[in-house]
Structure 1
Amino acid sequence: MFNLLLPVIMIAALFMLFRSNKKRQEQSKEMRSAMEPGSGVRTIGGMYALVKAVNEETVELEVAPGVVAHYTKSAIAAVLDPQEYDAIINGRPEEEELAELDESEEETADEKPLSLDKSVSDKKDVSGSDGTDGETPATK
């Protein structure tokens, strides 16, 4: 019985493996077809750049202002949304993060502000009983 079941399991596993690889390839192809001049991308090496031109097999990426490099389309790991690209490149928080920051600012606005005034009466007296202000006497 086990001898008959093992080949069926192996065939099913291979089918699932090939199917997931095919799906992944299709998703990559769709993502790369969404590239157009002006969109932000991340390469497989982790570099962020702007697409300047899309050719048949290559992509021209502006890696720095005025610096354009040619990459194969397969070197593109992700095409980014304009807001996401701007947040990564310019260090601006995304809209969701901005909403969280606004909420935390509202919560802290209700709290009593800290005072740097030294005349506050609830401070501890750190002076020693001998009037030396807690300092150790200098040895002579």
Structure 2
Amino acid sequence: MDILASLAPIILMFVIFYFLLIRPQQKKQKQVRQMQSDLKKGDKIITIGGMHGTVHALDEGTLVLTTQDGTKITYDRSAVRDVISQD
């Protein structure tokens, strides 16, 4: 029983660490993966590099963005940071 009492603060610290740091990060990663898999043609997005564009075409792992001046650029789906609007 003394061993359990001496380990209780360490165990409590790991539980707090899990709920404050690890679990929220896993939820955020799950939301990002869901957002990237839900992309469709016509969505206006921002990439992790700051490029603003509209999704022109989708492939399994890549997408083609069209910028305001009509330039088409190919990116990985994982490079999408945020969806501004969905059409």
Q: TM-score range by the shorter chain?
A: 0.7 to 0.9
After superposing on structure 2, the runs of 4+ consecutive aligned residues of structure 1 that deviate more than 2 Å are 1-6, 63-66
Report how many aligned residue pairs link the two structures.
83
Q: Structure 2: 5+ residue runs without aligned partners?
A: none
Structure 1 or 2: larger strand share? 2
Q: Which has the higher contact order (CA 8 A, sep 6+)?
A: 2
Q: Radius of gyration: which is bigger? A: 1
The alignment's TM-score, normalised by the length of structure 2, stands at 0.77
The aligned amino acid for 1:18 is I
Consecutive unaligned residues of structure 1, counting only runs of 5 or more, are 84-140
Instruction: Give the equivalent residue in structure 2 for 1:12.
Output: 15
Q: CA deviation at 1:47?
A: 1.9
- In the alignment, does 2:31 pair up with 1:27? yes
Shift of 1:10: 2.7
Give the alignment's TM-score, normalised by structure 1.
Answer: 0.51
Letter in 2 for 1:68: K
Q: How much is the aligned-residue C-alpha RMSD, in angstroms?
A: 2.2
Q: Deviations over 1:70-91 (max 9, x none)?
A: 11111111111259xxxxxxxx
